[in-house]
Amino acid sequence: MNALGRHVLAEIYGCDFDILNDLKKVEEIMVNAALEAGAEVREFVFHKFSPQGISGVVVISESHLAIHTWPELGYAAVDVFTCGDRVNPWDACKFLTEQFNAQHVDAKEVERGAMMPSHRQAVNF
């Protein structure tokens, strides 16, 4: 790896309202996404907004997973940042997409702390 970390930015569309608006469910899915990717979970914090929406972060030994949801739009903005080459951020993104019952995902990877110019890779699930 020529970079210190991999940062996947995902736009997740067509998600289930009831899932994106359930604090405990989003928390559970995000923690399990980290585990699915092979990460070591350290801490997590989530907040539910009124009338809807959730923001949260899962701190992992390898960096973090973060989410902001707009249930009324069926949309979630997610980022998964991992350092080292043991954890695959794409595994976490795929898990989230499946668990949110998403219809479409637009995601890209950004190399962080690259030793040479950054390369971007766009991917659709």
Question: How many domains, the chain?
Answer: 1
- What domain range is 16 assigned to? 5-124
Tens-digit pLDDT string for the chain (125 aa): 578 999 999 999 999 999 999 999 999 999 999 999 999 999 999 999 999 999 999 999 999 999 999 999 999 999 999 998 899 999 999 999 999 999 999 999 999 988 655 555 666 66
Q: Do the bridges between strand 63-70 and strand 54-60 make them parallel or antiparallel, or are there none, so unpaired?
A: antiparallel
Record the pTM: 0.89
Q: What CATH number does the domain containing 48 carry?
A: 3.60.90.10
What was the pLDDT predicted at 114? Answer: 81
What was the pLDDT predicted at 3? Answer: 86
How many Cβ atoms are within 10 Å of 77's Cβ, its own excluded?
14
Instruction: Evaluate whether 46 touches 55 at the Cβ level (below 8 Å).
Output: yes
What dihedral do alpha carbons 41, 122, 100, 72 form, nearest 10°?
120
Helix H or strand E segment including 68 = strand 63-70
Q: Enumerate the active-site residues.
A: 63, 68, 83
Measured CA to CA, the distance from residue 98 to residue 124 in angstroms comes to 13
What was the pLDDT predicted at 1? Answer: 55
